[in-house]
């Protein structure tokens, strides 16, 4: 067959030392458009409120489910075994 069995591999850059890596990483971080403090605080508050609401939802329905299973299906558990 006329086709080569080689697979094209991406070119790898030469390894660089930790100092050069840090300088390049810092240069890239300077290019980032960072959100304002108000935006960060607003989004953080939204995440906390939604997380709290989800936790409350799970808590309520877990307790309802536990009460239903314990009282409705299994019956009240006895603390002491019956006398022989």
User: Which segments of the chain does DSSP mark as H helices, in order?
Assistant: 18-30, 37-67
How far is the C-alpha of 20 from the C-alpha of 28, rounded, in Å?
Answer: 12
**Ramachandran bin of 24, using left for φ above 0, alpha for ψ from -120 to 50, beta for the remaining angles:** alpha
Please give the tally of structural domains in the chain. 1
Q: What is the pLDDT of residues 47-84, one digit of tens each?
A: 999 999 999 999 999 999 998 888 877 666 555 666 66
List C-alpha distances in Å: 10 to 6, 7, 14, 24.
13, 10, 13, 21
Look up the domain containing 43 and give its range: 36-72
pLDDT at 68: 87
In a domain, 28, yes or no: no
Q: Does any domain span residue 50?
A: yes
| Residue 13 in this model has a pLDDT that exceeds 80 | no
Please check whether residue 16 lies inside any domain of the structure: no
Closest CA to 27 of 36, 16, 14: 16
* Any domain includes 68: yes
């Amino acid at each position: 067959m006329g086709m080569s069995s080689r697979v094209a591999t991406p070119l790898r850059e030469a390894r660089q030392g930790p100092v050069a890596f840090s300088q390049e990483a810092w240069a890239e971080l300077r290019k980032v458009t960072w959100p304002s403090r108000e935006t960060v605080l607003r989004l953080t508050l939204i995440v906390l409120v939604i997380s709290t609401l989800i936790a409350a939802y799970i808590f309520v329905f877990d307790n309802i489910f536990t009460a239903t299973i314990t009282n409705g299906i299994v019956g009240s558990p006895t603390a002491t075994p019956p006398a022989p």
